[in-house]
């Protein structure tokens, strides 16, 4: 049941205004992880958010229950020669990771506050974000220590390309996943 959840769309022009809301939701959703994992602190997340949301192609969907934000998703297209694929540990054909700037949309974050989990809200935020894209495919990274999240994405149609560890300090090992986007 997701009746009553209003999904709104934003782009990089609204990033500064949205920033406090995005950080508050992150701090709540990742409170346990941030307590033990240097990769998950709010400060690290804020750096990542600022990097992503500065990109002109950054887009974001936020779900609201009344005036309360309940979760969000965001991402941006990968630039040509994207560093995204730099930490790929699995051998794949070269053309699988060739970026043109318009080929692949990277879903960087998806999170929903606990009371709105298992309500279809996460899927709606995901679908609404990707529905507006013109790229041929999307990619995301999911922590290999979270097999249930990996399975959730697989159930939404994502396939696994291989193992990837971003070349940044404390980065965990991820599954790199891909999803074909409908062509217009």
Ligand X SMILES: CC(C)(COP(=O)(O)OP(=O)(O)OC[C@H]1O[C@@H](n2cnc3c(N)ncnc32)[C@H](O)[C@@H]1OP(=O)(O)O)[C@@H](O)C(=O)NCCC(=O)NCCS
Which positions lie near ligand X, rule CB under 6 A? 29, 110-112, 117-118, 122-123, 142, 146, 148-149, 152
Buried/exposed code over 5-26 (b: 16+ C-beta within 10 A; e: otherwise): bebeebebeebeebeeebeebb
Cβ closest to ligand X, residue 111 vs residue 138:
111
| Shortest CB 29 distance to ligand X, Å | 5
Cβ closest to ligand X, residue 59 vs residue 108:
108
Of residues 103, 123, 17, 12, the one with CA closest to residue 59: 12
| Shortest CB 183 distance to ligand X, Å | 25
d(CA 155, CA 158): 7
Cβ closest to ligand X, residue 9 vs residue 146:
146
| Shortest CB 134 distance to ligand X, Å | 23
CB 157 within 8 A of CB 127: no
């Amino acid at each position: 049941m997701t009746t009553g959840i209003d999904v709104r769309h934003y782009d990089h022009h609204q990033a500064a205004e949205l920033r406090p809301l995005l950080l508050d939701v992150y701090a709540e959703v990742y409170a346990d992880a941030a307590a033990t994992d240097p990769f998950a602190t709010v400060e690290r997340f804020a750096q990542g958010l600022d990097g992503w949301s500065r990109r002109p192609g950054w887009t974001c969907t936020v779900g609201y229950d009344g005036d309360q934000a309940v979760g969000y998703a965001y991402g941006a297209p990968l630039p040509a020669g994207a560093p995204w694929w730099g930490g790929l540990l699995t051998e794949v054909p070269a053309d699988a990771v060739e970026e043109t700037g318009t080929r692949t949309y990277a879903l960087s974050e998806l999170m929903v506050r606990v009371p709105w989990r298992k309500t279809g809200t996460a899927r709606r935020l995901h679908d609404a974000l990707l529905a507006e894209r013109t790229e041929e495919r999307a990619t995301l990274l999911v922590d290999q220590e979270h097999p249930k999240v990996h399975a959730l994405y697989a159930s939404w149609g994502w396939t696994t390309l291989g193992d990837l560890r971003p070349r940044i300090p404390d980065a965990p090992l991820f599954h790199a996943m891909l999803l074909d986007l409908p062509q217009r």
